[in-house]
Chain A
Amino acid sequence: MQFDVLILGAGIVGSACALECARAGMKVGIVEPNVPANGASAAGMGHIVVMDDSPAQLALSRYGRELWQQMRQALPATVEYEQCGTLWVAADEEEMQEVHAKQRTYASVGVETEILDAQALEHAEPQLRKGLAGGLRVPGDGVIYPPAAARFFLDEAIRLGATLLRGVLPVAAAQGRVKLQDGSGLSAGAIVIATGVNTSLVPWITVQPRKGHLVITDRYPGFVRHQLVELGYLKSAHKLTADSVAFNVQPRQTGQLLIGSSRQYSDAVPDVDAAILRRMLDRASEYLPRISELSAIRVWTGFRAATPDKLPLIGPTPDRSVFLAMGFEGLGITNAPGAARLVGDYLLGREPAIDRTPFLPGRALKQAEAMRA
């Protein structure tokens, strides 16, 4: 079969890319060996958040959030989009200084925020323990249920003529050809690899699986109102080697709470790790003391696709027919629509809305060469 573009991987990023290309009138094929959106898209929280850990990430996540907000009316109810806002919680005065710095960063790119003092924080989230210093509210952030969003993108792409090739495993992708495990092949003008943590088709890039744990509770409507994240989260998220936990709790539209987060590089098995789960929930109960009384109905793990420099790989490769859209770490949900636009921009020769050079996959090749040298 001949396609204009073949998307490998039907997670939220691949599905968003498929929809972008189908909207542009391309003949699109999507190859998914498993259940669509069954990887990180199913395992993650679904937090749509502007992150300011680097200027490039700030630009991409701000762009992604804006695109989510624009399509909000078109999303089906199953996506459960809730613009609950993020509340970055400052434990002490030192973290309160960071709140001010963070506000300035957000203001520089036009992201609205609001500083809460201790009293305002208590009023906003009465379940938080007393004695916290304050926080930064980012009202434009939100939460979604990612598998439903990914499937919506996929179904829309199919409605516009895209073909889903389900249950087939690609084993090689080069020069406009995708070889499948059964020996057959597919051809396309362009190939977009969106296989998340799986780098078997592009072994020259470095994407490390970064294991995370999540717990979901029974329904407790109103227990928390914002996605609550400790300000120390970035410190935790940026440790490149050691296992870490951070307080990160999300209210679902159903009244359930999602409780995170943990980050482990060393652990490649999907089993629940009792020791880190204990640390993670202990951390959550430091901020929300009564959370320990709530009923947990499920615990699971997933793997984030982490790149060495914390930025995703979006764009062309030395093989001019092959493009990447992978390595999104914990921000694949937020960044999927922006990444899909950038991929579309490359394929259609459009001018991108943001600087796309920081995401060029070539840097991973250079890193790999540097490591070999």
Chain B
Amino acid sequence: MSMRWDVLIVGAGPAGMAAAVAASRGRLRVAVLDDNAAAGGQIWRRGLGETAEPAKQKMLHAFKECGAVLLAGRRVVQAPEPGVLEAWCDETNVLERYHYDRLILATGARERFLPFPGWTLPGVMGAGGLQALVRGGYDVRGKRVVVAGTGPLLMAVAAHLKHDGAKVVAICEQASMARMLPFAAQLAKKPSKILQAVALGANLRGVSYKTGCWPVAAIGNGRLQHVELTDGRRRWTEQCDLLACGFHLVPNLELPLLFGCRVENDAVAVNAMQQTSVAGVYCAGEPTGIAGVDAALLQGEIAGLAAAGNTGGAEKLVARSKAERAFGEAMTSAFRLRDEVLRLCDANTIVCRCEDVSYGSLKALADEKNNWTDAKLLTRCGMGPCQGRVCGPAVEALFGWKNASVRPPVFPVPIAAFITEPQSEFDNQQALQEMQ
């Protein structure tokens, strides 16, 4: 007997969990696929140094109780036909096939990295990546850390590192104070966000927070020893063991593109019900535009209700969701990249680490009016194992080349995934039994 999920959700971060909780109220069969081992997404990643944020605890609890099935450790690989997707399960080494009526994509965001001389030295890490490592047990006690880049994540990461015993030397925010003021005004309208900011500020007492300041080069003999910083007028170096670096977030658009959802202004286009351009496919959270966790929770709930047919319930949330979106737009504007951080590379700076592609080779192609297809074809930039997840946003920022299509497998998978027949209903039945 064949079985379909009424609502299948990809991503168990705040948006995906909120969608699952909302959709499950309609006594529907709801499942959530996620590539991590547990629910929470990147922002609520479980592990050491977990914070007891009330919103997080509340949602994790509601998700656990709602009756939706969490299918963790699954990476979506391909969508062979409408209403069907296939995911690779690392634990069982099986390609699983899922049938669904409605799909909610809640694939979150990832950090953007910008290349600069020395950024590939050991000791230079993504800000969020370092935080995840620390939660996984990486010891930062006594380590001197510079946190640099842009976006609210820098403060959160710095607070976490300090809490875990790191010596945070400085937080360097490339955005100017003038640019951030309108965003601060938005923050001031939101009591919950003020509380978060105050809490962060308290944790970060004694740490220097410099606006209008960015890294120019990471320096070291075989591993990071110094970072050279600038405020546009003068340059100085800070001695450090780690440089946690991130330039705000970019939406994970691979799956929306795979399913053919229309993308506008670097985000998935959705209507007020979070419905994408593809019938039966919804999108919630950061892929529709970076706007933070509160927006993700609301959009997830709207998508879950709408996918379950409760548009009345969803409509009640639309006004609040719009306000959150405005907050997101203010944030995007506040943390827009300044031109200077797009001019940090020298000719030898590596842009694509998988394929060792230098800035110089890409610049030469860009100067001769080549496009992204030429660049990929000739340098294989973005065609290594990370499939452009790291260098893609950098290349877009540096040269304006956008990745507009995705080919399966969306994630690298063992060859075996293509040899064996995908397994379908058996696993779904088993999951259903576990659920009951």
Residue pair B378, A148 in contact (C-beta under 8 Å): yes
B418 CB contact (under 8 Å) in A42, A299, A300: A299
* Contact of A292 with B415 in the complex, beta carbons under 8 Å: yes
Q: Which of A282, A293, A296 contacts B409 (CB 8 A)?
A: A296
Interface residues of A in 280-309 (CB under 8 A from B): 281-282, 284-285, 291-300
> Are A299 and B415 in contact, CB atoms less than 8 angstroms apart?
no
* Given contact pairs A35-B371, A218-B385, A147 touches B378 in the complex (Cβ within 8 A): yes
Q: Which residues of A contact B385 (CB under 8 A)?
A: 218, 295, 297
Q: Does B387 contact A (CB under 8 A)?
A: yes
A42 touches B414 (CB 8 A): no
Contact B418 A35 (CB under 8 A): no
B136 within 8 A of A: no
Residues of B within 8 A of A30 (CB): none
- B421 cross-chain contacts in A, Cβ below 8 A: 278
Partner of A215, one of B80, B379, B418: B418
Q: A35-B374, A218-B385, A274-B80 are in contact. Are A294 and B407 (CB under 8 A)?
A: no
B414 touches A292 (CB 8 A): yes
Q: Answer yes or no: B419 CB below 8 A from chain A CBs.
A: yes
CB distance from B384 to the nearest CB of A (A): 7
User: Is A37 engaged at the interface, CB distance under 8 Å to the other chain?
Assistant: yes
Count the B residues whose beta carbon is within 8 Å of the partner chain — how many?
24
B377 close to chain A: CB less than 8 A: yes
Task: Kindly list chain B residues whose C-beta atoms are within 8 Å of the C-beta of A274.
Answer: 80, 418
The answer to the question of A259 belonging to the interface, with a C-beta cut-off of 8 Å to chain B, is: yes
Assembly CA distance A285 to B417 (angstroms): 12
Contact of A272 among B373, B408, B419 (CB under 8 A): B408
B403-424 vs A, Cβ < 8 Å mask (1 yes, 0 no): 0000111001111111101000
Q: Please provide the chain A residues from 27 to 52 with a CB less than 8 Å away from any CB of chain B in the complex.
A: 35-38, 42
Among A36, A78, A215, A298: residue with most chain B CB under 10 A: A298
B383 beta carbon closer than 8 Å to chain A = yes
In the assembled complex, the Cα of A298 lies from the Cα of B355 at a distance in Å of 14
Most-contacted residue by chain A among B373, B377, B383 (CB, 10 A): B377
A91 contacts B by Cβ under 8 Å? no
**Which residues of chain A are within 8 angstroms of B384 by Cβ–Cβ distance?**
297
Q: Contact flags (1/0) for B341-382 with A, using CB distance below 8 Å?
A: 000000000000001000000000000000101100111000
Closest partner residue, chain B, to A300 (CB atom): B407
Q: Does A198 contact B (CB under 8 A)?
A: no
Could you say which of B373, B379, B407, B418 contacts A278, with CB atoms under 8 Å apart?
B418
Q: How far is the CA of A296 from the CA of B417 in the complex (A)?
A: 9
Q: Chain B residues with Cβ under 8 A from A38's Cβ?
A: 373, 377
Q: Say which residue of A147, A151, A272, A296 sits within 8 Å of B413 (CB atoms).
A: A296
Q: Enumerate chain B residues within 8 angstroms of A277, measured Cβ to Cβ.
A: 418
Establish whether residues A281 and B414, one from each chain, have CB atoms under 8 Å apart when the complex forms: no
Given A278-B418, A292-B419, A297:B412 Cβ within 8 A:
yes
Once A35-B371, A295-B385, A298-B407 are accepted as A-B contacts, the answer to whether A259 and B415 lie under 8 Å apart by CB is yes
Bound together, the chains give a CA A297 to CA B380 distance in angstroms of 13
Q: How far is the CA of A42 from the CA of B375 in the complex (A)?
A: 12
Per the bound structure, the CA–CA distance linking A37 and B378 in Å amounts to: 10
The answer on a CB contact under 8 Å between B377 and A147 is yes
**Known contacts A35-B373, A272-B408, A274-B80; A296 and B418 CB within 8 A of each other:** yes
A223 to chain B, nearest CB (A): 12
In the assembled complex, the Cα of A278 lies from the Cα of B385 at a distance in Å of: 21
Contact A35/B377 with A218-B385, A259-B415 known, Cβ cut-off 8 Å = yes
Interface residues of B in 384-436 (CB under 8 A from A): 384-385, 387, 407-409, 412-419, 421
Rounded to whole angstroms, the CA-CA distance of A294 and B413 in the bound complex is 8
Q: Convert A197-239 into 0s and 1s, putting 1 for each residue whose CB lies closer than 8 angstroms to a CB of B.
A: 0000000000000000001011000000000000000000000
* A278-B419, A298-B387 given; 6 more Cβ-contact pairs under 8 Å: A35-B374, A215-B418, A293-B414, A296-B409, A298-B407, A300-B407
What is A's interface to B at a CB cutoff of 8 Å? 35-38, 42, 78, 147-148, 151, 215, 217-218, 254, 259, 272, 274, 277-278, 281-282, 284-285, 291-300
Chain A to chain B contacts (Cβ below 8 Å), 25 pairs: A36-B374, A37-B377, A38-B377, A42-B377, A147-B377, A147-B378, A215-B415, A215-B418, A218-B412, A272-B408, A278-B419, A281-B415, A284-B415, A292-B414, A292-B419, A293-B416, A294-B415, A295-B385, A295-B412, A296-B415, A296-B418, A297-B383, A297-B409, A298-B387, A299-B407
Which 5 residue pairs across A and B have the least CB separation, nearest first? A292-B416, A147-B377, A297-B412, A295-B412, A35-B373
